[in-house]
C-alpha cells in the first residue's frame, strides 16, 4: 500500500511525516483510433508510462504504434466494478506524491470525488484492540525504524535495512512490516536504505471511482492495439523491428514500458542481446510483492468511518496484513499483504488468504466480522505473466543500477516505466512522468 507517504525522513513523529502490412491486422484487434502504417516509434505497454508517452508523442507530432499484451489499458493501475459492484482497484489505489503527480490535477479536473486520505488507525494486539500505550509504542518503534533506515540512506549506505534497524520491543516487527512488506513489497533484507532514502515523500489522495479508472480515462481516444504482445525486439539495424504474433512493426525507435521482472525473465527477446550491465539492471531493480485481499463488508465493523486503517501486531511471524477499510464509503476493505507472505498466499490461493484475514479480524473484533462479510477476492501480481510482481526497488548494493536501467541503448531502444523514474518509482505518477520524459528524449534523439 506504499506508505512512503507517511514515513519519516526527518525523525519527526510518524503522523507528521512521513511494417507494416501487418499494421492493419494489428488494428483490427482492438485499436480504438487510427494507428499509422509507418510509425516513427513503437510503444510497448499501455500502463501509465505507455499512455503518457503516447500523449507526448502525439502532442509533438511524432507518429507511433502502441501495442499492449493484455485486453485492457492501465497495467498495474486497473479498476473494475464487476467483482463487488463498486470500484475495485486491483493495483494502485492511493493517488500519491501530491501535485507532483500529474494525476493529481487530472483527478481534480475530473467529475469524480477526489479527496485527501484521512489517517485514522485501529491497532489490534492479539485478541483485543491495542491500548493507548501499545499504540504509542508502535508509532515510536515505527519512527525508530524509519529513522535508522533514513540515517543509513542519507549517509550513502547502500545496505539492507535489516542491518541497521533496532528490533528491540514487542512492536518492532510490526513497524518493520509497515515499512518493508506493506510499503516496499519486500522483506527488510531485500531492499536498499539508499534507494528508500532517495524516494519522494508523499501526500495521499483518493479518487472514489478508482485510480485505475483515472488512468483508463487518460487513455481514452488513444490508438492502443490490445492483445498484442511484443515477443522480440530487433535493434541491430538502422531502426528497430518489434515482432508480435500479429506481425512485425518497423520503426525508428521503441519505448519499452514493461516491468523489470518481465525484462528479467526475457518475455521479450532482444536481438542482438542487450549490453550486460543493462541486463543486470533488470535484476538489480527488482520487483517486490504486494497484493490486495479485498473484503466486502455491509457495515462499518471497524468503527472508523470512511477510509480508516487497520494494523495488527506481528509477532514471530511474517504473516501480516495492513488494511484500508471502507474505501470511499463503499464497504470494501483492502487487506494488503507484502513480501514473502504475499508470494506464499498466491501459492496457497484466495480461500486461504481470505480465511487468514477473517481469522485475525474475528479474533479481535468478534462475530460481527462474519455477520457482515459479503465476499472477498485476492490479486496475484506475481503470478501475472505481464507483471511478475507489484513495483520495483533497488536490491541492497544495487542503487547504482538505477541510471543504467533508465539509459537508452543505441539511441533507439528506450526504457520507461515506474522503475525508471528518479524518485517517484513504484508509483503511477512516476510511471507517467517517466513515460512523458522518455518520449521527449526520443523526439530529441530522432531530431
Ligand atoms: C497491488 C499494487 C498496489 C499499488 N499501489 C499503488 C498506489 O497505491 N499508488 C501508486 O501510485 N502506485 C501503486 N502501485 C504501483 C503502480 O501501479 C505502478 O507503479 C504503475 O501502475 C506502473 O505503471 P507502468 O506503466 O510503469 O507499468 P505497467 O502498469 O506494468 O504497464 C506495462 C504494460 O505492459 C504490458 N505488457 C507486458 N508485457 C508486454 C509485452 N510483451 N508486450 C506488450 N505489452 C506488454 C502490461 O500488460 C502492462 O499493461 C501499486 C501496484 C500494485 C501491483
Percent of the chain with pLDDT over 90: 89
pLDDT at 37 over 80: no
Residue 38's pLDDT is 85
CB 232 within 8 A of CB 37: no
172-223, pLDDT tens digit by residue? 999 999 999 999 999 999 999 999 999 998 889 999 999 999 999 999 999 9
Domain 20-76+211-286+392-446 falls in which CATH fold? FAD/NAD(P)-binding domain (3.50.50)
CB 438 within 8 A of CB 246: no
Residues in contact with ligand 1 (CB, 6 Å cut-off) = 2, 44-50, 67-70, 75-77, 91-94, 96, 229-230, 257-259, 262, 267-268, 290-292, 379, 381, 386-387, 390-391, 417-418, 426-429, 431
Q: Is 287 helix (H, G, I), strand (E, B) or coil?
A: strand
- CA 73 to ligand 1 center in whole angstroms: 10
Residue 33's pLDDT is 57
Report the C-alpha gap between 399 and 421 in whole angstroms: 13
Percent of the chain with pLDDT over 70: 92
| Strand 41-44 with 322-325, pairing | unpaired
C-alpha triplet 384, 179, 296: angle, nearest 5°: 55
235-267, pLDDT tens digit by residue? 999 999 999 999 999 999 999 999 999 999 999
Q: How many CA atoms lie within 13 A of 273 on its CB side?
A: 8
CB 160 within 8 A of CB 193: yes
Report the C-alpha gap between 45 and 188 in whole angstroms: 31
- CA 196 to ligand 1 center in whole angstroms: 20
Q: Is 294 helix (H, G, I), strand (E, B) or coil?
A: strand
Q: Who has greater pLDDT, 402 or 18? A: 402
* pLDDT level of residue 224 (50, 70, 90 thresholds): very high
Report the C-alpha gap between 357 and 350 in whole angstroms: 11
pLDDT at 19 over 60: no
CB 20 within 8 A of CB 250: yes
The protein residue whose alpha carbon is closest to atom 52 in ligand 1 is: 91
Which atom of ligand 1 is least distant from the CA of 231? 41
Residue 36's pLDDT is 76
The protein residue whose alpha carbon is closest to atom 11 in ligand 1 is: 427
pLDDT at 295 over 50: yes
Give the mean pLDDT of 136-145: 97
Domain 79-199+288-378 falls in which CATH fold? Polyamine Oxidase; Chain A, domain 2 (3.90.660)
pLDDT at 157 over 70: yes
pLDDT averaged over every residue in the chain = 92
Q: Kind and range of the H or E element at 311?
A: strand 308-312
Output the nine-digit C-alpha cell for 27.
488494428
- CA 127 to ligand 1 center in whole angstroms: 37
Report the C-alpha gap between 307 and 82 in whole angstroms: 21
Report the C-alpha gap between 157 and 152 in whole angstroms: 5
pLDDT at 46 over 90: yes
Question: Residue 409 class from Cβ within 10 Å (0-12 exposed, 13-18 middle, 19+ buried)?
Answer: middle
What residue ranges do the domains of the chain occupy? 20-76+211-286+392-446, 79-199+288-378
Residue 32's pLDDT is 45
CB 6 within 8 A of CB 18: yes
Report the C-alpha gap between 113 and 139 in whole angstroms: 31
pLDDT at 324 over 50: yes
Residue 202's pLDDT is 82
Residue 29's pLDDT is 36
Residue from 45, 50, 214, 224 whose mutation best tests the ligand 1 pocket (most atoms within 8 A of CB): 45
pLDDT at 117 over 80: yes
* pLDDT level of residue 3 (50, 70, 90 thresholds): very low
pLDDT at 107 over 80: yes
The 10 Å Cβ neighbour count of residue 63 is 15
Residue 201's pLDDT is 86
Output the nine-digit C-alpha cell for 108.
481534480
- CA 427 to ligand 1 center in whole angstroms: 9
pLDDT at 11 over 90: no
DSSP 197: H
Q: Is 346 helix (H, G, I), strand (E, B) or coil?
A: helix
What residues contact residue 403 under an 8 Å CB cut-off, 6+ apart?
none
The protein residue whose alpha carbon is closest to atom 20 in ligand 1 is: 428
365-382, pLDDT tens digit by residue? 999 999 999 999 999 999
- CA 245 to ligand 1 center in whole angstroms: 22
- CA 157 to ligand 1 center in whole angstroms: 29
Residue from 30, 91, 323 whose mutation best tests the ligand 1 pocket (most atoms within 8 A of CB): 91
Amino acid at each position: 500500500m506504499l506508505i512512503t507517504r507517511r514515513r519519516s525522513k526527518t525523525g519527526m513523529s510518524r503522523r507528521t511525516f512521513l511494417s507494416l502490412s501487418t499494421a492493419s491486422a494489428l488494428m483490427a484487434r482492438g485499436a480504438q483510433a487510427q494507428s499509422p502504417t509507418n510509425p516513427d516509434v513503437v510503444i510497448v505497454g499501455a500502463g501509465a508510462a505507455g499512455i503518457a508517452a503516447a500523449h507526448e508523442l502525439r502532442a509533438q507530432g511524432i507518429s507511433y504504434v502502441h501495442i499492449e499484451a493484455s485486453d485492457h489499458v492501465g497495467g498495474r493501475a486497473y479498476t473494475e466494478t464487476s467483482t463487488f459492484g463498486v470500484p475495485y482497484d486491483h493495483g494502485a489505489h492511493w493517488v500519491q506524491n501530491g501535485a507532483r503527480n500529474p494525476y493529481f490535477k487530472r483527478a481534480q479536473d475530473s467529475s469524480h470525488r477526489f479527496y485527501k486520505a484521512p489517517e485514522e488507525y485501529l491497532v489490534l494486539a492479539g485478541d483485543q484492540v491495542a491500548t493507548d500505550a501499545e499504540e504509542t509504542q508502535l508509532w515510536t518503534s515505527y519512527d525508530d525504524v524509519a529513522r535508522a533506515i533514513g540515517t543509513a540512506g542519507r549517509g550513502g549506505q547502500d545496505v539492507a535495512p535489516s542491518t541497521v534497524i533496532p528490533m528491540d520491543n514487542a512492536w518492532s516487527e510490526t513497524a518493520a512490516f509497515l515499512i518493508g512488506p506493506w510499503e516496499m513489497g519486500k522483506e527488510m533484507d531485500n531492499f536498499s536504505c539508499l534507494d528508500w532514502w532517495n524516494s519522494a515523500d508523499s501526500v495521499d489522495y483518493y479518487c472514489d471511482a478508482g485510480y485505475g479508472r483515472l488512468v483508463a480515462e487518460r487513455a481514452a481516444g488513444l490508438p492502443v492495439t490490445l492483445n498484442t504482445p511484443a515477443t522480440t525486439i530487433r535493434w541491430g539495424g538502422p531502426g528497430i523491428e518489434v515482432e508480435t504474433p500479429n506481425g512485425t512493426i518497423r520503426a525508428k525507435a521503441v519505448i519499452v514500458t514493461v516491468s523489470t521482472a518481465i525484462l528479467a525473465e526475457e518475455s521479450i527477446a532482444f536481438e542482438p542481446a542487450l549490453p550486460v550491465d543493462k541486463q543486470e539492471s533488470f535484476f538489480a531493480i527488482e520487483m517486490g510483492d504486494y497484493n490486495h485481499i479485498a473484503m466486502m463488508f455491509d457495515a462499518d465493523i471497524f468503527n472508523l468511518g470512511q477510509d480508516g486503517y487497520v494494523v495488527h501486531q506481528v509477532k514471530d511471524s511474517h504473516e501480516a496484513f495492513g488494511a484500508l477499510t471502507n474505501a470511499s464509503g463503499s464497504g470494501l476493505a483492502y487487506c494488503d499483504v507484502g513480501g514473502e507472505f504475499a508470494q506464499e498466499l498466491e501459492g496457497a490461493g484466495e480461500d486461504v488468504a481470505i480465511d487468514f484475514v477473517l481469522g485475525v479480524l474475528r479474533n479481535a473484533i468478534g462475530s460481527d466480522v462474519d455477520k457482515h462479510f459479503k465476499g472477498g477476492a485476492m490479486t496475484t501480481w506475481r503470478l501475472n505473466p505481464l507483471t511478475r510482481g507489484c513495483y520495483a526497488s533497488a536490491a541492497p548494493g544495487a542503487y547504482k543500477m538505477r541510471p543504467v536501467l533508465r539509459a537508452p541503448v543505441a539511441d533507439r531502444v528506450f526504457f520507461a516505466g515506474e522503475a525508471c523514474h528518479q524518485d517517484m518509482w513504484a508509483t503511477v505518477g512516476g510511471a507517467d512522468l517517466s513515460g512523458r520524459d522518455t518520449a521527449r528524449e526520443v523526439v530529441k534523439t530522432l531530431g
